[in-house]
Amino acid sequence: MKRVIRLVLSSLCAAAVMLGAAGCSGDPKVSTAEPATLPVIGPDSSLPTGTAAPSPSADPTVPDTTKATEAPVPSTEETSAPTISTAAEPTEPSTAQPTGPQPSVPDVPADVTNFRTEGTNGYVIVIDPGHQAKGNNAQEPVGPGASETKAKVSSGTASRFGGRAEYQVNLEVALKLREELIKRGYTVIMTRTGHNVDISNIERAEIANGVNADAFLRIHCNGNDNASVQGISIYYQTPGNPYNGALHDEAKALNKCLLDHMVARTGGRNAGLVESDAYSGINWCKVPAGLIEMGFMTNQEEDAKLQDSAYQMLLALGMADGVDEFLSTRAPKNR
């Protein structure tokens, strides 16, 4: 009996040993863990379907990437090393002042008519700052051979809001335009350089005619009984003008260039090109010309701009840009 018991016990021990060995065996490469039990950062097309994302780092300096909404994974373009520029300073835009020697801009003597400054590009521009300090109501024909007459020149309009008069603003802009055109290589003639002159509208036109000017710019400010009216406009002759209608197309081309660029520079309202045969300073012209109304001194907002030197410079730059465009396809008439 004892022998039987010992055999039974031996068999049980042997079975236990075999079961223990079987429990320790297996392929260590196979994990029984479910992928879904690991932290999920979010959709990631770089991971095969069913592959779990790695566990977050235990390093406290590393952000917890399990908070996907707080720390979204950037694209590879964002995480790549940035390109470091070796430039010390950003380059200037194309509109910056050109480098190198600049043409000198001689000062103008006071109260001179027909004042000329030579340029280098062969083109001649005549600038007429409209009006003068004291008008001249003596009459002159509105056009060559006309029986109708008008005052030789008026003193113009004026600010209604404590600003300077039109004849003053006209000259301020004209001098800025003169300087800009000289820098661009143009020969520039000023019909007047001061306020204490007496030069009629016919005499102004004849200055431009006498030099066969490539363009004649008559600079003015406008006025209206309606204080809400504002905008930049330019007047020139109709095709049927009995004195110089043949110049209509060239004048229109010039003035469209001027108006487009003035509006672009200033952001002012485009009040349009206006054809009229009422202006003796246009009717006597034998060259492309325009009477430029830079804005309304009877409109408080626009008058404030016209009084401002920075805005005046924008007007001058717009006119210079317009002259550049107009003459870019035309040879100098005096070369």
Label the pairing between strands 113-117 and 187-192: antiparallel
Mean pLDDT of 290-297: 98
Q: Is residue 56 scored above 50 in pLDDT?
A: no
CATH class label, 113-327:
alpha beta
Got the DSSP string for 211-264? TT-SEEEEEEEE--SSTT---EEEEE--TT-TTTGGGHHHHHHHHHHHHHHHHH
Provide the b/e sequence for 219-236 (b: ≥16 CB within 10 Å).
bbbbbeeebeebbbbbbb
Mean pLDDT of 303-317: 98
Q: Could you read off the pLDDT of 22-50 as tens digits, one per residue?
A: 444 333 333 333 333 333 323 333 333 33
Amino acid 325: pLDDT: 98
Q: What is the mean pLDDT of the chain?
A: 79
Amino acid 17: pLDDT: 41
Q: What is the pTM of this model?
A: 0.71
Q: Is residue 79 packed enough to be buried (19+ CB in 10 Å), middle (13-18) or exposed (0-12)? A: exposed
Q: Among all chains, which residue has been given the structure tokens 């007459």?
A: 149
224 vs 77, residue with greater confidence: 224
Mean pLDDT of 95-110: 69
Q: Could you read off the pLDDT of 215-229 as tens digits, one per residue?
A: 999 999 999 999 999
Q: Is residue 20 scored above 50 in pLDDT?
A: no
Long-range contacts of 36-45 (CB under 8 A, 24+ apart): 39/66, 40/66, 41/65, 41/66, 41/68, 41/73, 42/68, 42/72, 42/73, 44/73
Q: Which of 263, 237, 250, 244 is nearest to 319 (CA)?
A: 263
What percent of the chain is predicted at pLDDT more than 70?
Answer: 69
Split at pLDDT 50, 70, 90, the class of 104 is confident
| CA 63 – CA 73 distance, rounded (Å) | 12
Q: Could you read off the pLDDT of 121-133 as tens digits, one per residue?
A: 999 999 999 999 9
| CA 105 – CA 175 distance, rounded (Å) | 11
The alpha carbon of 122 is separated from its chain's Cα centroid by a whole number of angstroms, namely 28
Q: Could you read off the pLDDT of 227-271 as tens digits, one per residue?
A: 999 999 999 999 999 999 999 999 999 999 999 999 999 999 999
Amino acid at 320: A
| CA 208 – CA 194 distance, rounded (Å) | 18
Poorest-confidence range of 81-90, 152-161, 324-333?
81-90
The answer to whether 127 and 219 have CB atoms below 8 angstroms apart is yes
Amino acid 248: pLDDT: 98
H or E element that contains 203: helix 201-210
Amino acid 6: pLDDT: 56
Amino acid 335: pLDDT: 83
Amino acid 84: pLDDT: 30
H or E element that contains 210: helix 201-210
Domain residue ranges of the chain, discontinuous segments joined by +:
113-327
Mean pLDDT of 114-122: 97
